[in-house]
Structure formats: C-alpha cells, structure tokens
Structure 1
Amino acid sequence: MNSITIHPAQKLEGAITVPGDKSVSHRAVMFGSLAEGESRVENLLLGEDVLSTMRIFQQLGVRMSHKPEDLSPSDTLVISGVGLDGLRPSDQILDCGNSGTTMRLLLGLLAAQPFTSRFTGDASLNRRPMERVIEPLKKMGAQFEVNHEASGRRIITVKGNKNLKGIDYTMPVASAQVKSAILLAGLYAKGETVVHEPAQSRDHTERMLKGLGAFFKSRKLTHSVRPGSKLKNFQMRVPGDFSSAAFFMVAGLVVPHSKLLIQNVGVNPTRDALMSVLEEMVVSKKGSKEKKLSLVDKREVSGEPVADIEVLSADLKAISIGGDIIPKLIDEIPVFSIAAARAKGDSVVADAKELRVKESDRIKTMCQHLKTLGVGVDEREDGFKVHGGKPFPFKAGKFQSFGDHRVAMSLAVAALVADGPSVIEDIDCVATSFPGFFDLLLKLSLKSV
C-alpha cells in the first residue's frame, strides 16, 4: 500500500494535458470490437479500468494490435472488429478489476450472446450493486446467477439468450451505465428497446451508436434502438478527460497566484456541469473583465466537443447544487467539496445518494476528510453541507483514500493549500483513471518554487 507526501504550493503555473477520457475510451474499445472491420483509436486512456475492458474483449476473441500491458500513450490501438455476432465464449472468468463501467455495460452486451459468461471484480467492485442493471435486463429475458465465494469474491453468471425481447423502460435513477447496458442488449433484442431517463446523463454511448450506423433514435430524455444494424469501423482520437481536468481546475482556483492551461479537454455538455458551477462560484471583482475560468478554442474531435480550459486563482462563494445537474457532475463532487470548503458561505450538495455506492461511500469519506482538514461539514443521506470560507489554510494531516481514486486526487488538491505537508495513503487506486497524476501535480508545484 503506497503513500505520498504532498507539500503546500506557492502557485501552480503551466500548460498541461490530461489522459484520454475514461468513458469514451471504454466505449471506443467496445464499439471497435463490435464494428465491421478495423478501427483505430488514439490517446486511449491507459488506466487500469480501460485495460480491463481491453483484456476482456481479447478473451472474447477480438484481435487488437497491442496487449494491454504493452500499450503506451503514443500508440494507436488498432481493433479488428468481429461484428455484432462475432464474439466468442471464454472459458475464463471475466475479471473487470475495479471498473463498474466494464461490468455493467458487458452485462447488457453478453446477456444477448448465445453463450454463458462469468464476471468478477476486485473487492471494491464486488461490493458495488448491480441490481439496477440486472433487473431491466431480466425484463428483456436475460438470466443471471449471483454467487458469493467464501473468500468474498462475487461471481455473476450471465446465461446468454439470443431471444431477448425489447422493452419500454423508465429508469428510476439517471445512470449512463445502466442506460448503455440496456441499449447494448437492445442491439440484439426482438422489437424496439426504449429507455426513458429521469434526467440527462452522459451521452457517449448515444453519440457512438448514432455515428456508427446503429438503428438508433434519441429525443431529449428518450432513447431507442432496434436490431439488425451493422456498426461501421472508425478512427477516433479520444479527448482529454473532463473529470481528470476537474482536479486541476479546482487546484488552479484555490492555490493563490496560479495560472493554468488545460489542453484538449472533452467538454461534452452532459459531462461539463462542474464548469458552470465553478464559474458561478467565482467572485468577480468590481470593474474587472478578467475571467478566472474559461473555455478557449472550442472545436469538435471525433464527434466530441473539445476545448482548452484556462484557470486563474480566484476567491469563491458558496453554492447549492442538486436535482438534474447531479448526473452531469457526479464524479466531480469529491473535488467540488474542496472548492466548497474554500468558498465563503455554506454550500450544499443534494440528490447525490449514488455517491454512497461508488468505489467508497464518497459522502461519508469526504465528510470525514473535510473535518480532518478543519472544515465544518454536515453529512446528509443524499449529500452534505459544507461550512466554507473558514481561516486559511487547511490543516495538514494523514489521509486514507479507502481505495477510491477520486478521493485520493481530491485530497491531493486540498493538501496544496494546507498548513504543512500531508500524507495520502493507498494511492495505487489512482492508476485506474489517471496514471501519472501525482507526477503532473509535482511538476506544476515545482515550477512555482
């Protein structure tokens, strides 16, 4: 179990890039595998979660130019797609590691195959609920068995069924993973499969289905798919991950005298809600036209909106968030809590109960750490209330990530504005989404000395 010591920073300054978007990377591997012919993917995220997806599709008979462990950031991954009906059974248990996206989307895809598959994951993933995916898939005719071994390992057996039937399903909670799992199963099901969302979640699956020629329609919060299509091969450059950029956006705002440019970031409107939240939190000085947070050079790359993000240090004021915006920034709430702790006034997060079933209970975990930092916070069932703007800086300390990559990186941001060195324990988990995060943070900090 590795740890790292983070020292306070005088300022952060420089231009950086962040790794490829995790959500887009997963889907690029999946749809490249299901397409007809050869697809090429640049800037694929090399985090452990995406590598788990690569390994599983290779186990299912898909040829790729690289083994996961041999792929480097500058490589182009070439995927020899097998078509929608070309996957082959594996006699091995399909290990999703820590990746909920891998497991949930593949439960939908493999439910429609003419063979049986078995899934497991690491200790953290094996505790995370899968019922929200399994229940609608059962309505389509899918069959599952869930068993727990004495060791605690969970094995989910999917008994594939080529005769799934389309359903009209209203989701109780907005979730891109559940939506995507149902739509993937719907590519094979008889009749039309329709999914209604209660609020908009990230739309990377819908963009790819539409762009690759699936029989797919989407209107506002309703999405439908029919069987019988063939998916076209493609070339893609994966944009930088907005969720990874979020740590540096908050760091740039809270560390005094900072000036950052985060380049080539995906700014999909179903993903970038933190941008508007932070913009609203910035305190504008009277008479000043200087923007502390802004998008520049907006463009489209491989069907996804991309921009550079300029960040300048700023004073912040409190804000309350809840309702429909939560699915659009659910992954950024841990680092948002650090911004809220520096903001003047009381900030509230509501309607975010899903945080309790992430890699850790992120509500409980972040509330615990905010108290250690010297911040007043009230934990609530579906969120928390942060009493921000207290005397600066934070209290340094020793912090446990609980195996949660986003918690570890959020604490690193907080440590930059603490009153001394802070230790963050169990940081190996950061490799699931942001390999090289601490090296990049250290590089920016050293530039400020």
Structure 2
Amino acid sequence: MHPLAHPLVSRRAEALRGAVTAPGDKSISHRALMFGGLAIGETAIHGLLEGEDVLNTAKAMRAYGAAVRRDEDGVWRVSGVGVGGLAEPEDMLDLGNSGTGARLLMGLAAGHPITSFFTGDASLRRRPMARVMKPLGDMGARFVSREGGRLPLAVTGARHPLPLDYTLPVASAQVKSAILLAGLTAPGETIVVEPEPTRDHSERMLRHFGATVRVEDRADGTRAVTLTGQPELAAATVRVPGDPSSAAFPAVAALLVPGSEVRIANVGANPLRFGLFETLLEMGADIALENRREEAGEPVVDLLVRAGGLKGVVVPPRRAPSMIDEYPILAMAAACAEGPTVMEGLAELRVKESDRLGAVARGLAACGVEVEEGPDRLVVHGKGRPPLGGAMIAANLDHRIAMAFAVLGMVSEKPVSIDDGEPIATSFPGFVPMMNRLGADIAEEPA
C-alpha cells in the first residue's frame, strides 16, 4: 500500500432503499468534449461526468485551442475550432488513468499537422497503444514511444491525412473511434471493419454533429463503418445519459442485499453497452426497464431493481464487447448466485487499468469463492449464498476493481477491505456517499 492510499472497508449492509441517478456516461462525455471542440459554434453539454478522466480530456481540448468552460448551473460549453483547426499544445498532455482519452485524442491529433506529447499515470503508462499507432501510422501520422508502444509518446500528425480501409484485428471501440477521428480530416471515405460490433457512441455522436456515417452489417458477420471525411461539424446540444457501467454497481448491490429496492434514473441503454443487464436478467434478476426514451441519438431508461436470488449462467463470448467493463461487478453477482457462471472471451480484461481478470480471480479466492481462471476466461462457482469475505483487496489503481469489491463487502459475512479507494474518483466521484445514502456501510480507514 502506498503512503497516500485511501483504504476503504465495506461491511454487510441492511436493505438498500432509495433513488439515485448514475453519473454521466464516461464514453459519451469524452466524445462530447472532443466533437464539440471540432465543431463550429458553441456546444452545450448537460450531465457531463466530472470525474478525473473526463476533466483531463477537457484540459487537453483547451490545450488544442477549444474554449471549454463550466457554467454555474453545471452545463459545460465548448466553442470549437472546426475540423482541421487544432492548435499545437504548448505542453505535455497528461491523461491520468484514461485509456479512452489517450487513444481517442491520439486519433484526433493524428489528423492534424502538429506534434503532441502524451503521458498518464503509472497504470496508463503500462497499457498498450501500438494497436492505435498502427492504423494511424498508415494514415500518415508518425510516433515515437517507449518500447511496446507505451506512454509517454509523441505523435506528429499528417499534413495530408490518407483515408483508410482498415479491418480491426480485435474488436475495439477505442481503436475504431481513433481511426474515425483521424478520418475527419482525410478526403474521401475512411472505413473501419469490425469483427463484431462494439459500442457505437462515436458513430451516433458524429451524426448528431452533422457528419455522414454509414453502418453496414455484412453477411460474414462483420460490421463496416464508413465516414465521409472533411465534414463541417456544427455545434449541438448533448444530454449525457447515466453511465451503464457506473449504474451497474448500485444495481448489483440492490440485487444482492436482501430486501433492497433501488431506482436508478437516466441510464444509457445503448444495446452495444447493455450486455451486463441482459446477463443479469438471464440470471433471474428482478430489474424493470421503465420510461424508455432517446436523447442525442442514445436510448435511455430508468431501472427499478429489487433483491432476489440469482442462478449461474454461461455468458456468450460474443457479448463481451457490450459489457467488457462490467465483468468485475458481474463476477460479484456470480459469487452469490446458485451454480457456476462461465465468462469467456475476456482477453481484453488483461490490458485494462489493471489485469482485471487476474485481480477479480485473486480477490474472489481471498474472499472464499471458488474460481477457475484461464488466459481469457473466468468461472465463478457460486453457492447461492453470500461468500465469507474478510480479505484485503489490492485495487491496483483500478476504479472498477475497488467498486466491485466494495459491493461484495455489502453482502459478505465478513467485511471486505480495499487497499486504495482513491481511483474511484476517475469514473464515479461520490460513489461512497451515494452508496451509503442507500444504506451501505462503506468507510474510509486510516492508511
């Protein structure tokens, strides 16, 4: 444990009750700032996630010349510079813990004839960037990086970006989005072919700002996304829905803590992000989807979640892209379910903010849960009752690991401790007080 750590301990909770709103969707918040920064006019963003990851993207867009401010009423306003109009940053861009921010901004920078320097925290500096550098290099950008394509790195964008027809070797919304962002300044059409569909926030928001984007599902099961380059993007109002990845934590807590009933308002229900809730419903979860609507091209619902028994299921690998960030919290639900839950196609979890697959397996085992871990799979053998708990969990600077095990502590027989809760602020500022208002017992402990 490092000396500035903020340990948390989560104890068994009474029934959770109340209504909450999930913080704004992180993926949509990043993109709203970036596309607003490329649009002509002033974009108003309502409900922006004000976590550290997104605030670092806001700082980066200011460094690129966009005017970004927050009004007293919480609305963010971005005055853009137009496609191709980015200024060269005077200083290093520090993206903190955000892989999304780093990879998407690398795509943005690759299409402009300027040099940008990127860095991040210890976790981000360990994560691979080569899969973004390869296609962006094919479009004319040049990179200098640490061994293995790791941050810190420099990118000098192309003076005359080339349109690209690129098939992703592995499904990745971040790589797809980086290519589309670079393709905005290229003439003609840039095409990205996905082996399976990934979250489509970039495509939806590009259309919202006035770009032409076509999506074609091909007979071989792949999906082709085609962007017409050099559009003029026009400022647009964006209302950011609640992040389903964040809503997952109070939702699973409400399912597991006996007697709970929690309403979670304004949750993004994009079908390419909703795999966790599909899976929970298959496990027998009592979740009602209410008040369906659409905002800024994104479907939105309210969730009413009641506690009840869950049964183990086999989660199909093809669902992984729609819930890749939610496997840690699904594993907590699986630990309390009746029977084994089999999760496959999880290789991507090895290169997130931490090796999430390894962290979940080690943490559950330490809490008395029987698990099987493979290179890209996890099997959790639930006994239909709360696990023993009682462990100290190493969060490894990973917000989702910290929050997932805080939820497990709400239902386990013995308290669960997390060595550092500080990273939670990157995606879910206010997580601990919000959960405690519902009836959780999570406290910060002296380091």
Equivalent in the alignment of 1:268: 270
Instruction: Say which SS state the counterpart of residue 36 (structure 1) adopts.
Output: coil
Equivalent in the alignment of 2:411: 417
**Cα shift at 1:321:** 1.4
State the AA in 2 paired with 1:310.
L
1:155 matched to 2:152:
yes
- Residues 91-140 of structure 1: CA deviation (Å, up to 9, x unaligned): 20111111101110111110111111111111100000001111111122
* Whole-angstrom CA distance in 1 between matches of 2:398 and 2:198: 22
Equivalent in the alignment of 1:171: 168
Equivalent in the alignment of 1:379: 373
Superposed, 1:2-41 pairs within 5 Å as 2-41=6-45
Matched pairs, number = 430
Residue of structure 1 aligned with 2:389, choices 368, 392, 395: 395
Instruction: Say which SS state the counterpart of residue 76 (structure 2) adopts.
Output: strand
- Residues 148-168 of structure 1: CA deviation (Å, up to 9, x unaligned): 7xxxx9321111112121121
TM-score by length of 2: 0.93
Question: Structure 2: where are the runs of 5+ without partners?
Answer: 218-222, 442-447
Q: What is the identity percentage for the equivalent residue pairs of Structure 1 and Structure 2?
A: 46
State the AA in 1 paired with 2:383.
G
Equivalent in the alignment of 1:232: 234
- Residues 286-345 of structure 1: CA deviation (Å, up to 9, x unaligned): xxxxxx111001011222111100101111111111322100000000000011111111
Equivalent in the alignment of 1:251: 253
* Whole-angstrom CA distance in 2 between matches of 1:250 and 1:119: 36
TM-score by length of 1: 0.93
Question: Structure 1: where are the runs of 5+ without partners?
Answer: 284-291
Superposed, 1:293-442 pairs within 5 Å as 293-389=287-383, 391-442=385-436
Equivalent in the alignment of 2:86: 87
* Whole-angstrom CA distance in 2 between matches of 1:200 and 1:258: 35
Superposed, 1:91-110 pairs within 5 Å as 91-110=90-109
Contact 2:95 2:102 in 1 (8 A): yes
**Cα shift at 1:384:** 0.9
Residue of structure 1 aligned with 2:439, choices 436, 440, 445: 445
**Cα shift at 1:265:** 0.8
Tell me whether 372-381 or 438-447 shows the greater mean CA deviation.
Answer: 438-447
**Cα shift at 1:141:** 1.9
**Cα shift at 1:356:** 0.3
- Residues 220-250 of structure 1: CA deviation (Å, up to 9, x unaligned): 3110112221001011211111100011111
CA separation of 1:446/1:120 partners in 2, compared to 1, >3 Å: closer, same or farther? Answer: closer
Equivalent in the alignment of 2:284: 282
* Whole-angstrom CA distance in 2 between matches of 1:85 and 1:176: 23
State the AA in 2 paired with 1:326.
A
Tell me whether 420-429 or 205-214 shows the greater mean CA deviation.
Answer: 420-429
State the AA in 1 paired with 2:172.
S
Equivalent in the alignment of 1:118: 117
**Cα shift at 1:82:** 1.0
CA separation of 1:204/1:397 partners in 2, compared to 1, >3 Å: closer, same or farther? Answer: same
**Cα shift at 1:393:** 4.1
**Cα shift at 1:402:** 1.1
Superposed, 1:184-203 pairs within 5 Å as 184-203=181-200
* Whole-angstrom CA distance in 2 between matches of 1:188 and 1:82: 13
Contact 1:96 1:102 in 2 (8 A): yes
CA separation of 1:138/1:389 partners in 2, compared to 1, >3 Å: closer, same or farther? Answer: same
State the AA in 2 paired with 1:15.
A
**Cα shift at 1:390:** 5.5
* Whole-angstrom CA distance in 2 between matches of 1:390 and 1:295: 25
* Whole-angstrom CA distance in 2 between matches of 1:273 and 1:412: 22
* Whole-angstrom CA distance in 2 between matches of 1:228 and 1:307: 34
* Whole-angstrom CA distance in 2 between matches of 1:215 and 1:188: 13
* Whole-angstrom CA distance in 1 between matches of 2:340 and 2:416: 25
